[in-house]
Amino acid sequence: MSELDYKLLAALDKVVSEQGFEPAARQLHLTQSAVSQRIKQLEQRLAQPLLIRSQPPRPTDAGRRLLAHYRQVSQLQGAVMAELLPDAPQKPLTVTLATNADSLAIWLIPALTPLLHSHPIELNLLIEDESRTLDRLRSGEAFGAISVSAEPLPGCRCDPLGEMEYILVATPAFRRRYFPDGLTLAALQLAPAVAFDQRDDMHARYIEQHFGLPAGGYPCHAMRSSEAFVAIARSGAAYCLIPRLMIEEDLQQGRLVELYPEGPLFEPLYWHRWLLERGIHQALSRRLVDYGRTVLPPIDSGVTSRV
């Protein structure tokens, strides 16, 4: 059985991550033809296609498995070298993790700040809906992910972080305009809402569970930013589900009001990462779990309002 040639795997990784042969060649200081030849050589050794030659190029299922392996090895190698040669000049270690936008907006940066001050790290944060972050871990793009799933992937482990409480809010003026008689079905069909993107179903699940109105039955903006959710709610142009932690002052000052206080939504969050972690990856995991648990109430804390 032939061994993997990591020089060839590096070419595959660059073509996928740089989204093309030409930018990959520049990164590797090779000709485009040489990069193409390395990938063909890898495919011949493994007797199967590894790359779909589309625009941009995409890995096949076998290619994704190889990339996940290569990226894990690369990150672990960087951590090991930093341990073995602590006094040698070290290039910043790229640490990639997948997170939901709300965790990034509320607590992730304060959690990581001490490590950023004490270690040469380049953070690469992949922002996804919390139901899709595990896809980035599965592909090997990230070494860890914040997710709503409690089930670890093969070769990974997960720890609970806590629950994020979401509440349905708007300005007092918005409530007077759209919901003078409360959140009736007729009013919900007219009031503009907000979702993270077209695949985000949190708002849709919430409205359908509590009010029986299916997705598509009302106007809904799409904004891939937690801060934009708060901004559009404050502007009086829409209502939306926002983490209570982000808007406590707005609620206290009366800039925003709860539209449905009897129906908060609690989303559990878990930290997933590779089983094989060491060095800075291990320190980052400990820091994330410890800090997350100081900010978020524990999962299953007695409130069962979930969708």
What CATH number should be reported for the domain holding residue 114? 3.40.190.10
Whole-structure pTM value: 0.83
Residue 141 counted as domain residue:
yes
- Of the ranges 63-77, 237-251, 274-288, which is most confident? 237-251
| 220 shares its domain with 102 | no
| 134 shares its domain with 274 | yes
Give residue-wise pLDDT tens across range 159-200.
999 999 999 999 999 999 999 999 999 999 999 999 998 888
Among 64, 87, 110, which residue terminates a domain? 87
Q: Which residue has the tokens 């609970």?
A: 160
Distance CA 237, CA 192 (A): 7
| 115 shares its domain with 94 | yes
- Residue 218 in tokens: 């009302």
Tell me what pLDDT residue 93 has. 81
Residue 94 counted as domain residue:
yes
Tell me what pLDDT residue 131 has. 86
| 157 shares its domain with 168 | no
Kindly report the CATH number assigned to the domain that includes residue 52: 1.10.10.10
| 274 shares its domain with 222 | no
For residue 36, what are the domain limits? Answer: 1-87
Tell me what pLDDT residue 65 has. 86
DSSP string for 66-103: HHHHHHHHHHHHHHHHHHH-TTS--PPEEEEEEE-HHH
Residue 306 counted as domain residue:
no
pLDDT at 246 > cutoff 70: yes
Report the 10 Å Cβ neighbour count for 71: 20
| 205 shares its domain with 242 | yes
Helix (H, G, I), strand (E, B) or coil at 253: helix
Total number of domains constituting the chain: 3
Query: How high does pLDDT run on average in the chain?
Result: 91
Residue 305 counted as domain residue:
no
pLDDT-derived band of residue 89, with 50, 70 and 90 as boundaries? low
